[in-house]
Structure 1
């Protein structure tokens, strides 16, 4: 089971905007991030991230990549200081990568993406994502996968050819996934949580079987058998590394899956409850409201409104 792919899929992750920008000293750019995780890849020159949540700007050299959590509105400029009166907000419709692009001398170039969720994901991974996660291109080895991918991206941007847009979109998705993977690895060393839990291979086995079939009536004994641990040891190690219990984690997986089912069709609550592993609609509704903060019926109504009135597609 590919845990990261499953989590992003169940959370309803969608790439909503991808844009190529030339950044000059006269026009800083503001990127709203209301419902999205923002991604910036600097391919030429240098850029600075400014935000009220930062004590000082973050410098991005060519080859650097930055991932912003949901809600992190920020400004990009070519210098540590900028004139707020000159800031231009990046909004509008879905952008397309131009077939030919020749930036002016002295400008910086970056490619940006917005990875949006149509609802607030409830999986523990999303609570671990820091407001700002940056990988400095200078710190990456010549043959690091991200270095190679950014090199391919820069090549496609500077020498466009047939199929280039498909390649560019794919490469940005690869960079986004590598960034999240790197973030998970670093978070796993920092504190207890989902990232630390899956670093334990036996805990990861128990987590994987829950992801494979969250509707299964898993017991602690069955999960311990899959993990190759005793019931007591699984419970202790799961709580110590994950900061949660196995069965509480399973309930969250079931609720995340239910959010998808509620938004896709007019299934009865009884059907949704049983499809994700609850015995009846009453117990399902009680757990759902506790985790999501609203009843399944209210969530479904809001989902229909969101789908009927799509968000404006914004970078960042």
Structure 2
């Protein structure tokens, strides 16, 4: 018989909030730029990364593949969530040097300062490239448009955070890198919330399902405990619905049946744990609900097209 879920898996009050909570970033790099015109920097494509820019002083232009050049002023925030290459320049169409070809002053392992001295108008920027490890966070980021813009006047509630970020970047007191990273966390979450409030596409599909009280509760339970021996009956109980009504509504909102989603989710979690955390295959298998390593390996290859051992080998080779 199916047993009811434990209290920590009862219907979530805010399943979407849990997905946003998963947006804990691991920094690839963060930099403060002090520039006087003319200047320009070409940000290279960074697969699997989201890049953000905050103007702290003066103005500059951002050129992205999906939109015309756009002016950024103090208090503006832009997120390039899919790691597409783009340019930051003092004037549209100006020359831009490749980011990693520029001399940089490293203040710590992942924080650096760029300086451009063209002698003209001054501009200050805080920029960063970040990764998201949690599968729920990655899925949410994948749904975002190519560029997210938040102008200073659009979201007054962001300005205090932006001002704090700018102050920390200028002063870089002890612990400043950690503060800048945490503030960037907040800014990205706020930018996504602003997009969700304005864009109707954010209320459909997987995001829409997270915002449904019943189906969102089931999704949150799967995300929290993929190893649990879930069945259609126990997931329906978590959603406080009958089995038939739950099955139909889950498929309608999410786009796939509940048990298929569970299987896919387990494989996404397993891939993350193998590729980025160096987990041992037996432990990873058990962590997503498989008692047999052989059964796990078959399911993994069926869903992802590659064996778990190959994922581990690639990860180790990349780390060398």
TM superposition score category, shorter chain reference: 0.7 to 0.9
1:31 equivalent among 43, 47, 58: 43
Cα distance, 1:180 vs. partner?
A: 3.6
Provide the C-alpha distance between the structure 2 equivalents of 1:126 and 1:218, rounded to a whole number of angstroms.
Answer: 26
* Aligned CA-pair RMSD: 3.2
State yes or no: 1:40 paired with 2:79. Answer: no
Rounded Cα–Cα distance in structure 2 between residues aligned with 1:256 and 1:162: 38
- CA deviations over 1:169-206 (Å, ceiling 9, x no partner): 33223222323444455566445322111111221111
1:216-255 matched pairs, under 5 angstroms: 216-255=228-267
Q: Do residues 50 (structure 1) and 63 (structure 2) align?
A: yes
Specify the SS of the correspondent of 2:68: coil
How far the C-alpha of 1:233 sits from its partner, in A, is 2.3
Distance in 1, matches of 2:46 and 2:283, equals 33
Give the deviation of 1:151 after TM superposition: 1.6
- In structure 2, which of residues 69, 73, 84 is the aligned counterpart of residue 61 of structure 1? 73
Distance 2:153 2:80 in 1: 20
User: What residue in structure 2 maps to residue 124 of structure 1?
Assistant: 139
Partner of 1:87: 96
Q: In the alignment, which of 15, 20, 32 is matched to residue 20 of structure 1?
A: 32
Q: 1:292 aligned to 304, 309, 312, which one?
A: 304
Q: Shift of the alpha carbon at 1:250?
A: 1.7
Work out the CA distance in 1 between the residues paired with 2:316 and 2:20.
Answer: 25
The number of residue pairs the alignment matches comes to 294
What are the residue-to-residue correspondences of 1:183-194 with 2, within 5 Å?
A: 183-186=195-198, 189-190=201-202, 192-194=204-206
Question: Where does 1:105-120 land on structure 2 (aligned, <5 Å)?
Answer: 106-116=121-131
TM-aligned CA distance change 1:281 to 1:159, over 3 Å: closer
Secondary structure, in 3 states, of the residue corresponding to 2:235?
helix
CA-to-aligned-CA distance 1:250-292 (integer Å, 9 cap, x gap): 223211321244244563x454323311353344234323443
Per-residue Cα deviation, 1:118-170 (whole angstroms, up to 9, x for no partner): 899995324312211111112112xx1x2210021223345565544443333
SS of 1:273's partner is: helix
Q: Rate the CA distance shift 1:47–1:252 in 2: closer, same or farther, 3 A.
A: farther
* 1:301 pairs with 2:310: no
* TM-score normalised by length of structure 1: 0.80
| SS of 1:114 mapped into structure 2 | strand
1:133 to 135, 141, 148: 148
Pick the structure with more strand per residue.
2
Whether the 8 Å contact between 1:46 and 1:62 is mirrored in structure 2 is yes
Match in the other structure for 1:276: 288
Work out the CA distance in 1 between the residues paired with 2:82 and 2:136.
11
Distance of aligned partners of 1:73 and 1:241 in 2 relative to their CA distance in 1, 3 Å threshold: same
